[in-house]
């Protein structure tokens, strides 16, 4: 009889388990997890905007730093760690412009600045998608800002990265893939964004001016000088839009001005001085626009090591767009257009008013090539370490017909080897094969 009494107890156990073994018992609540539903509102869109901007600032920093190395702004010098530190070793390879070795080494450092630029661009897209769904009318100027930023990242990609990169996006939660693009195709995409930016920015002069300068820069890249000048018309000369950096590295290496470290010469980089015969005399020009200090000598005991003083903290902001850049765009349009006589006045006006003490006025060098050289030298000094120089050197080749060997550093590298022929930063097509996008790497 006892035995029969046991069955109801087990039946009770079964019933209990049946009751509890439902979804509820498996539910977990993680207060640190952000659910998508938490972001499905205007505040969520704003949170995404902030991170997208921050990622963009991060990309600006990497872009400025890396383009400075492959161009003539910074150079690798033979220090003890030049050959030992992977980080600086990569910088040396980048400085050497040897495409094959760049590709090899680039895998190990996340493809700066290509990766950060693409991350920022896609984050901007996600923020834009969120504003489209949940944004309030009062947030519309921020939509303009986001479009301008996205265009900016595309312009940076076009100027610095070799042709063949894609512009993938996220639609909903799924990736939407693009094929490989040329620089011109990318810049056209940027112009579309800038059209949207100019409309959405409304009466926000700050965002409008940002969009105008970026538009001018994109059009300059397409060789449409007149349109470029028109785009930046009205941008005040004292306007500046900075990439803000908080100097506190996170897991994404965000928000630090990676080029700031005043003693970075000890890690094997120096401000260049006539690098590879063709480089400009940044270090020895004693120009207040490129402040430097002689920090010592390289390990060979002879090569001088110059530290830049333009950015003296990890939080130093980096100008993304400025009124000075607008005037420089106008000057280039003047040099290439009907108002050729005004270009020098435009440059001298900047030298007189935008730097203290004022710089002596320039005189006309007399020949077209020399004028172009002078204009680009002025751009190089005004825009030092802001991510413009590499694009300018490429434009000298593409739009002004210069021989790359007369534009980029050539000959023997001060560390070892001989300068290569790369004129852009390569990217690695990681993940493209899995996604079947057809993107295979540089196409030119």
Partner 1 sequence: MKRILLPGLLAASLVAVLAYPAPAAGQAKLVQARESGAPAPVAGGGRFHHPVTLNAVDARLGDVLADIAAQADLALVYGSDIVPVDRRITLRVRSMPAADALERALAGTGITITPVGRDQVVLAKRVEPAEPAAPARVQTGAVAGRVTEAETGTPIAAAAVSLVGTRWRALTGADGRYRIDGIAPGEYTLRVERLGYEEATRSIVISGAETVQADFALTRAPAELDAVVVTVTGEQRVRELGHVVGRIDADAVVRTGPVSNVSELLNARIPGVNVSTTSGTIGGEVNVRIRSPNSIQLSNFPIVIVDGVRYNSFQEITNGVTSFLIEPTSRLNDLNPNDIESIEVVKGPSATALYGTDAANGVIVITTKAGRPGPARWRAYARAGITEMPNPKTPDIYWGWTTGAGSCTLYNVSLGTCVQDSVTVIPSPYNDPDLTIFGSKPRWEYGVNVSGGSEQLRYYFSADFDEATGPVQFPPALAKRWREERGTKLPSEHLEPNREERLNLRANMVAFLGDAATLRVNAAYTEGETRNISLDNPFTRWPEQGRPDGDDPYGGQSPFIAFTRSSTETVNRFTGSAIAEWRPTTWLETRAVVGLDLPSTYRYTLAPRDIVRNYTGSVSEIRARVQSTSAELGATATFGFGRILSRTSVGAQYVRQHRNELTVSGDNLRPGGASLLDAANRSISQSYSETVTLGSYVEQMFGLNDRLFLTGALRADGASSFGNPYDPAFYPRAGVSWVASEEPFMPRIPGLDNLRLRYSYGAAGLQPTPGMRRMAFQSLTVNLEGQTNPAVITIRLPSPDLRPEKVKEHEFGFDASALDGRLQLDLTWNRRKTVDQITTVSLPSGLRTVYANIGLIEGEGFEARVVGRILDRDDVSLDVILNHSTSTSKVVKLGGQNPVYGTATSLVEGFPLGARFMRPIVSYEDKNGDGIIGPDEVVMGDTAVYMGKGTPGNTQSLTTALGLFGRRVRLSALFERRGDFMQVDQISFYGRTKLRAAVDPTAPLEEQAKVIATYLGAPTGQGGASYTFMAPGDFIRLREASVAFDLPDAWARAARLSSATVSLSGRNLALWTDFVGADPESARPFRYQGGVASTLPQARSWIVRVDLGF
Minimal distance, residue 43 CB to partner 1, in Å:
10
Compare residues 39 and 230 and give the one whose CB is closer to partner 1. Answer: 39
Binding of partner 1 at residue 119 (CB under 8 A)?
yes
Compare residues 8 and 288 and give the one whose CB is closer to partner 1. Answer: 8
Compare residues 34 and 309 and give the one whose CB is closer to partner 1. Answer: 34
C-alpha span between 142 and 209 (Å, rounded):
14
Binding of partner 1 at residue 338 (CB under 8 A)?
no
Sign for the CA dihedral angle at 345, 346, 348, 353 comes to positive
Minimal distance, residue 437 CB to partner 1, in Å:
6
At a CB cut-off of 8 Å and minimum separation 6, what does 29 contact? none
Residue ranges in 171-200 that form contacts with partner 1 under rule CB under 8 A: 173-175, 177
C-alpha span between 241 and 212 (Å, rounded):
12
Compare residues 30 and 138 and give the one whose CB is closer to partner 1. Answer: 30
CA–CA distances in Å: residue 443 to residues 334, 373, 392, 436: 33, 29, 20, 17
Compare residues 286 and 434 and give the one whose CB is closer to partner 1. Answer: 434
Q: How many CB atoms lie within 10 A of CB 10?
A: 9
Letters for 260-299 (x = contact with partner 1 by CB under 8 A, - = none) are ---------------------------------------x
**Which position among 236, 248, 358, 421 is part of the footprint of partner 1 (CB under 8 A)?**
248
Compare residues 182 and 377 and give the one whose CB is closer to partner 1. Answer: 182
Compare residues 104 and 358 and give the one whose CB is closer to partner 1. Answer: 104
Compare residues 58 and 336 and give the one whose CB is closer to partner 1. Answer: 58
263, 42 Cβ separation under 8 angstroms? no
Binding of partner 1 at residue 135 (CB under 8 A)?
no
What 3-state class would DSSP assign to 426?
coil
Letters for 301-320 (x = contact with partner 1 by CB under 8 A, - = none) are x-------------------
At a CB cut-off of 8 Å and minimum separation 6, what does 115 contact? none
Query: Which CB contacts under 8 angstroms, 24+ apart, belong to 357-364?
Result: 357/288, 359/287, 359/288
At a CB cut-off of 8 Å and minimum separation 6, what does 367 contact? none
Binding of partner 1 at residue 440 (CB under 8 A)?
no
Compare residues 242 and 354 and give the one whose CB is closer to partner 1. Answer: 242
Minimal distance, residue 51 CB to partner 1, in Å:
4
How deeply is 295 buried, as exposed, middle or buried, from its count of CB atoms within 10 A (0-12, 13-18, 19+)? Answer: middle
268, 303 Cβ separation under 8 angstroms? no
Cis ω on the peptide bond leading into residue 357 (within 30° of 0)?
Answer: yes
Residue ranges in 365-404 that form contacts with partner 1 under rule CB under 8 A: none
Q: Which of 78, 101, 70 is nearest to 279 (CA)?
A: 70
**Which position among 67, 71, 118, 196 is part of the footprint of partner 1 (CB under 8 A)?**
118
Binding of partner 1 at residue 37 (CB under 8 A)?
no
Compare residues 206 and 274 and give the one whose CB is closer to partner 1. Answer: 206
Minimal distance, residue 25 CB to partner 1, in Å:
6
Compare residues 47 and 355 and give the one whose CB is closer to partner 1. Answer: 47
Strands (E), 302-390: 304-308, 318-322
Binding of partner 1 at residue 34 (CB under 8 A)?
yes
Minimal distance, residue 289 CB to partner 1, in Å:
25
Minimal distance, residue 15 CB to partner 1, in Å:
9
At a CB cut-off of 8 Å and minimum separation 6, what does 133 contact? 40, 45
Binding of partner 1 at residue 416 (CB under 8 A)?
yes
Residue ranges in 13-32 that form contacts with partner 1 under rule CB under 8 A: 13-14, 17-18, 20-23, 25-32
Binding of partner 1 at residue 107 (CB under 8 A)?
yes
78, 284 Cβ separation under 8 angstroms? no
Q: How many CB atoms lie within 10 A of CB 78?
A: 20
Binding of partner 1 at residue 357 (CB under 8 A)?
no
Compare residues 251 and 357 and give the one whose CB is closer to partner 1. Answer: 251
C-alpha span between 115 and 153 (Å, rounded):
11
- 341, containing H or E segment: none
Binding of partner 1 at residue 426 (CB under 8 A)?
no
- Helix ranges (DSSP H) in 337-367: 343-353
Binding of partner 1 at residue 252 (CB under 8 A)?
yes
Residue ranges in 68-97 that form contacts with partner 1 under rule CB under 8 A: 78, 80, 83-84
**Which position among 246, 277, 293, 312 is part of the footprint of partner 1 (CB under 8 A)?**
246
Using CB under 8 A as the binding criterion, the count of chain residues that bind partner 1 stands at 87
438, 422 Cβ separation under 8 angstroms? no
Binding of partner 1 at residue 51 (CB under 8 A)?
yes
Across-strand partners of 294? 306
Across-strand partners of 263? none
């Amino acid at each position: 009889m006892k035995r029969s009494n046991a069955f109801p107890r087990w039946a009770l156990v079964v019933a209990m388990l049946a009751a509890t073994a439902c979804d509820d018992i498996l539910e977990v609540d993680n207060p640190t997890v952000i659910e998508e539903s938490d972001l499905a509102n205007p505040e969520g869109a704003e949170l995404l905007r902030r991170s997208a901007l921050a990622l963009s600032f991060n990309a600006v920093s990497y872009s400025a730093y890396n383009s400075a190395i492959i161009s003539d702004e910074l150079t690798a010098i033979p220090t003890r760690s030049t050959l030992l530190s992977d980080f600086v070793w990569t910088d040396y390879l980048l400085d050497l412009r040897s495409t094959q070795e760049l590709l090899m080494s680039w895998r190990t450092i996340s493809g700066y600045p290509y990766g950060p630029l693409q991350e920022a661009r896609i984050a901007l897209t996600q923020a834009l998608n969120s504003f489209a769904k949940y944004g309030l009318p009062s947030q519309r100027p921020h939509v303009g800002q986001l479009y301008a930023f996205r265009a900016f990242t595309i312009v940076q990609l076009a100027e610095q990265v070799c042709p063949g990169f894609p512009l993938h996006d996220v639609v909903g939660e799924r990736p939407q893939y693009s094929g490989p693009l040329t620089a011109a195709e990318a810049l056209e995409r940027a112009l579309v964004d800038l059209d949207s930016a100019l409309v959405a920015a409304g009466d926000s002069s700050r965002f409008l001016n940002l969009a105008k300068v970026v538009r001018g820069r994109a059009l300059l890249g397409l060789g449409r000088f007149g349109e470029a000048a028109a785009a930046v018309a009205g941008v005040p000369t004292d306007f500046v839009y900075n990439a803000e950096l908080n100097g506190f590295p996170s897991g994404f290496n965000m928000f630090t001005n990676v080029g700031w470290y005043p003693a970075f010469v000890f890690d094997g980089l120096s401000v260049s001085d006539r690098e590879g015969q063709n480089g400009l005399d940044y270090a020895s020009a004693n120009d207040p626009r490129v402040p430097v200090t002689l920090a010592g000598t390289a390990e060979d005991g002879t090569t001088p090591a110059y530290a830049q003083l333009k950015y003296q903290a990890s939080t130093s902001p980096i100008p993304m767009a400025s009124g000075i850049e607008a005037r420089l765009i106008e000057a280039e349009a003047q040099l290439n257009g009907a108002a050729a006589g005004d270009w020098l006045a435009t440059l001298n006006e900047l030298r007189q008013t935008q730097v203290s003490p004022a710089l002596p006025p320039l005189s006309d060098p007399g020949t077209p090539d020399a004028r172009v050289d002078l204009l680009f030298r002025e751009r190089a000094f005004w825009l030092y370490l802001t991510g413009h120089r590499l694009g300018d050197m490429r434009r000298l080749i593409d739009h002004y017909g210069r021989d790359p060997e007369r534009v980029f550093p050539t000959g023997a590298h001060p560390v070892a080897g001989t300068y290569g022929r790369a004129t852009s930063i390569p990217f690695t097509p990681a993940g493209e094969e899995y996604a079947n996008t057809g993107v295979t790497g540089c196409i030119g």
